[in-house]
C-alpha cells in the first residue's frame, strides 16, 4: 500500500533493526503493537529521549483494539514512551493508512524546516556573540590604549615639570660658579680645577635636562647637521647603563661618515628607545651593536626613499627576534609584546614618526631566535654645526651701556642669583617676585631701560606680563627667560634666553637687548623682532 502511493519503506524484523534504521534517518516509523509487546524497549526509549530540540519523530502504531485506554490499557504505556504517536486499529482502510502516513511525513518535513531555521538562528547568534566579543575586546583594547596614552602624557608632564624645575636650580648654580671662576681665576690652581669640574658637571646636567625635555615633547624639532660618531660616543655611557651588565655593547662608526640632518635631542631619544627595546629582547644577555654608516639607496628600496646617499643608524641585537605577524605590527601605536606595565607600545611608532619628520625612513628586520635589526635612515648634509665655544675660551663682550633692569622671577634662588650676575656686569637691577609686583613698580613711576621676566610663573606668566607692559609702554625692551629649552610660544615677537645660562650668555643677551633698535635680533638661535626704543 505504501509503495503504491510513492512511499519508500524498509521492513524491519526486530526492534533493534528498527532503531538502527531510525539512526540512519526516516520520515516516520510504522510499527505493530505485538512487535513491542515482548521486546526490550530501553534502546528505543533512549533514542527517543536523545532527539535534538527540533525533532519529535512521528510514529504510527498498528493495534488490535484501538488507542483508547478503555479498550486497550497498554496504549497509555506506548503513548508515554513514543510521544508523537498515532494509533491505527486493524483492520483499517488503505486510504486511512496513506492519509496518516502523509500527515506524518509532512510533520517530519516541517521539523526539518524548523531545524534549518534553528541552524540559521544559531549561526546568527554565534556570529552576533562573536561580534559582541570582538567589540568588547576592541573596547577593552581602546581603553587600555587610552590609559597608556594618559600615563605617557602624565609622565611627559611630570618630566617636563621636573626638567623645568631642574633648569631653575641649575641657573643660580652655574651662574654662581661662573662668577666664582672669573673672580678667583689664577689665584689657586686647585680651586680653579674644582670650579671647572663643577661647571662641567653643570653642563652635563644641562644636556640631561634637554633630553628630559625632549622626552616630554617640550622642544620643537630643530634640525641641523649632526655628527653621528660624536653623538654615539657621547651616548656610550648612557646606552651601556641602560643595557645592563649582561649585554655586550659594540659601537661602530664609519670613518667617512657624513653629517646627518636631524634634531640631536630627538635623535638621542629615538636611539635610546631602540637600545632599550633591544635590551628587553635579550633577557638572558647578548650583544647589542650600534652602528653608523653611509649607504646608497637604490630605486625600489624597501624604505621607499628617493634614491641617493643617506646616513644609516642601525641598532642590532642578538635577542629572541619576532615572527612575521609580530614584525608587521611592530611600529603600530600601542602594539607591544611586553607584559602589561612594562611598555606603552609607542617607542617604535615614535621612532618611525621622527624618521618621517626628518625626511628619512625607519625599517625593521627580524627572525625568531636570530635577533632584530632596526635601521634609521637620515638625510645627509655638508653643513657644519656651529661648535659651542669652550667655557674656558668664552670672554665677556664689552658692555654697551649700563642698564636699569626690572627683573621678574617667582623663584627666589633664580632671581637673587641672576640679579647678582647682572649687577656684576655693571647693571642696576630692581627685583620683582611676580607679574603683579612688577606692574606695581611700573605704576609707581619706575622707568627701567629693559624688563627681563621668567616665562613660567603662577597667576600671571611672562607672556601676559609682556602684553600688559606693551599696552602701556610699547617701546620698552622685554626679554623672556624660560626653563623649557628651545621652546617658547611666540609672545609679541620677544627674544628668549634659555635657562640655565652662564655669565657670557647673559651679558650677550643684555648687550643685544640694549642695542635693539627695531631690527630683527637673535638670542640663543631665535630670530625675533624688537620694537624701537
* Model pLDDT for residues 320-362, shown as the tens digit of each residue: 888 888 877 776 654 555 554 444 445 577 787 778 888 888 8
Q: How far apart are CA 121 and CA 114, in angstroms?
A: 10
Q: What is the pLDDT of residue 256?
A: 83
**Residue 62, beta-bridge partner list:** 32, 88
Q: How far apart are CA 187 and CA 362, in angstroms?
A: 54
Q: How far apart are CA 156 and CA 213, in angstroms?
A: 8
CA dihedral 396, 398, 401, 406 (to 10 degrees): -10
Are 237 and 276 spatial neighbours (Cβ–Cβ below 8 Å)?
A: no
Q: How far apart are CA 453 and CA 407, in angstroms?
A: 6
Q: What is the pLDDT of residue 391?
A: 47
Q: What is the pLDDT of residue 159?
A: 63
Q: Angle at CA 355, nearest 5°, toward 354 and 359?
A: 115
Strands (E), 359-427: 361-367, 371-381, 404-408
- Under DSSP, the state recorded for 435 is H
Residues 6+ apart with CB under 8 A from 34: 64
Residue segments in the chain with a per-residue pLDDT below the cut of 50? 218, 334, 340-345, 389, 391-393, 485-488, 517-533
Q: What is the pLDDT of residue 113?
A: 92
Q: How far apart are CA 60 and CA 82, in angstroms?
A: 10
Encode burial over 36-69: b for 16+ CB neighbours within 10 A, e otherwise. Answer: beeeebeebeeebeeeeeeeebbbbbbbeeebee
Q: What is the pLDDT of residue 292?
A: 94
DSSP string, 71-122: T-TTHHHHHHHHSSEEEEESS--HHHHHHHHHHHHHHHHHHHHHHHHHHHHH
The total of other beta-carbon atoms located within 10 Å of residue 304's CB is 9
Q: What is the pLDDT of residue 444?
A: 92
- Under DSSP, the state recorded for 311 is E
Domains of the chain: 228-381 (3.30.565.10), 391-529 (3.40.50.2300)
Residue 403 dihedral angles phi and psi, to the nearest 5° = -115, 150
Q: What is the pLDDT of residue 344?
A: 44
Q: What is the pTM of this model?
A: 0.46
Is residue 475 classed as helix, strand or coil in its secondary structure? Answer: coil
Q: What is the pLDDT of residue 483?
A: 75
CA dihedral 40, 45, 50, 51 (to 10 degrees): 120
Q: How far apart are CA 443 and CA 441, in angstroms?
A: 5
Q: What is the pLDDT of residue 397?
A: 54
Amino acid at each position: 500500500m505504501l509503495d503504491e502511493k510513492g512511499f519508500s519503506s524498509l521492513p524491519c524484523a526486530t526492534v533493534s533493526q528498527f532503531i538502527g534504521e531510525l539512526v540512519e534517518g526516516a520520515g516516520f516509523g510504522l510499527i505493530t503493537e505485538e512487535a513491542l509487546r515482548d521486546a526490550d524497549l530501553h534502546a528505543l526509549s533512549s533514542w527517543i529521549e536523545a532527539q535534538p530540540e527540533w525533532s519529535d519523530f512521528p510514529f504510527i502504531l498498528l493495534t488490535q483494539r484501538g488507542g483508547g485506554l478503555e479498550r486497550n490499557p497498554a496504549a497509555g504505556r506506548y503513548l508515554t514512551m513514543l510521544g508523537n504517536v498515532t494509533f491505527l486499529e486493524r483492520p483499517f482502510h488503505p486510504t486511512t493508512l496513506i492519509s496518516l502516513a502523509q500527515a506524518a511525513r509532512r510533520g517530519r518535513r516541517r521539523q526539518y524546516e524548523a531545524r534549518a531555521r534553528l541552524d540559521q538562528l544559531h549561526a546568527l547568534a554565534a556570529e552576533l556573540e562573536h561580534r559582541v566579543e570582538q567589540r568588547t575586546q576592541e573596547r577593552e583594547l581602546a581603553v587600555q590604549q587610552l590609559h597608556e596614552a594618559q600615563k605617557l602624557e602624565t609622565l611627559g608632564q611630570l618630566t617636563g615639570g621636573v626638567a623645568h624645575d631642574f633648569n631653575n636650580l641649575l641657573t643660580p648654580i652655574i651662574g654662581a660658579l661662573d662668577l666664582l671662576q672669573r673672580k678667583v681665576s689664577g689665584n689657586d690652581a686647585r680651586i680653579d680645577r674644582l670650579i671647572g669640574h663643577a661647571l662641567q658637571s653643570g653642563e652635563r646636567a644641562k644636556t640631561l635636562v634637554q633630553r628630559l625635555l625632549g622626552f616630554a615633547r617640550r622642544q620643537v624639532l630643530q634640525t641641523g647637521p649632526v655628527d653621528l660618531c660624536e653623538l654615539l660616543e657621547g651616548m656610550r655611557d648612557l646606552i651601556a647603563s641602560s643595557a645592563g651588565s649582561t649585554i655586550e655593547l659594540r659601537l661602530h662608526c664609519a670613518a667617512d661618515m657624513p653629517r646627518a640632518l636631524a634634531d640631536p635631542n630627538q635623535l638621542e631619544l629615538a636611539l635610546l628607545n631602540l637600545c632599550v627595546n633591544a635590551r628587553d629582547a635579550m633577557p638572558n644577555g647578548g650583544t647589542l651593536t650600534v652602528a653608523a654608516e653611509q649607504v646608497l639607496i637604490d630605486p625600489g628600496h624597501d624604505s621607499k626613499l628617493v634614491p641617493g646617499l643617506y646616513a644609516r643608524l642601525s641598532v642590532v641585537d642578538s635577542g629572541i627576534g619576532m615572527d612575521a605577524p609580530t614584525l608587521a605590527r611592530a611600529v603600530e601605536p600601542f602594539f607591544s609584546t611586553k607584559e602589561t606595565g612594562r611598555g606603552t607600545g609607542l617607542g617604535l611608532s615614535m621612532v618611525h614618526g621622527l624618521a618621517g619628520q626628518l625626511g628619512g625612513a625607519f625599517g625593521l628586520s627580524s627572525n625568531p631566535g636570530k635577533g632584530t635589526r632596526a635601521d634609521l635612515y637620515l638625510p645627509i648634509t655638508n653643513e657644519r654645526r656651529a661648535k659651542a665655544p669652550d667655557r674656558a675660551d668664552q670672554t665677556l663682550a664689552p658692555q654697551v651701556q649700563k642698564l636699569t633692569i626690572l627683573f621678574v622671577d617667582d623663584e627666589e634662588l633664580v632671581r637673587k642669583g641672576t640679579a647678582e650676575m647682572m649687577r656684576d656686569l655693571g647693571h642696576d637691577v630692581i627685583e620683582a617676585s611676580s607679574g603683579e609686583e612688577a606692574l606695581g613698580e611700573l605704576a609707581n613711576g619706575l622707568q627701567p631701560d629693559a624688563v627681563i621676566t621668567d616665562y613660567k610663573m603662577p597667576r600671571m606668566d611672562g607672556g601676559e606680563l609682556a602684553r600688559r607692559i606693551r599696552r602701556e609702554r610699547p617701546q620698552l625692551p622685554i626679554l623672556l627667560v624660560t626653563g623649557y629649552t628651545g621652546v617658547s610660544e611666540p609672545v609679541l615677537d620677544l627674544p628668549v634666553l634659555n635657562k640655565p645660562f652662564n655669565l657670557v650668555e647673559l651679558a650677550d643677551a643684555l648687550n643685544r637687548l640694549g642695542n635693539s633698535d627695531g631690527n630683527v635680533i637673535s638670542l640663543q638661535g631665535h630670530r625675533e623682532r624688537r620694537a624701537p626704543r
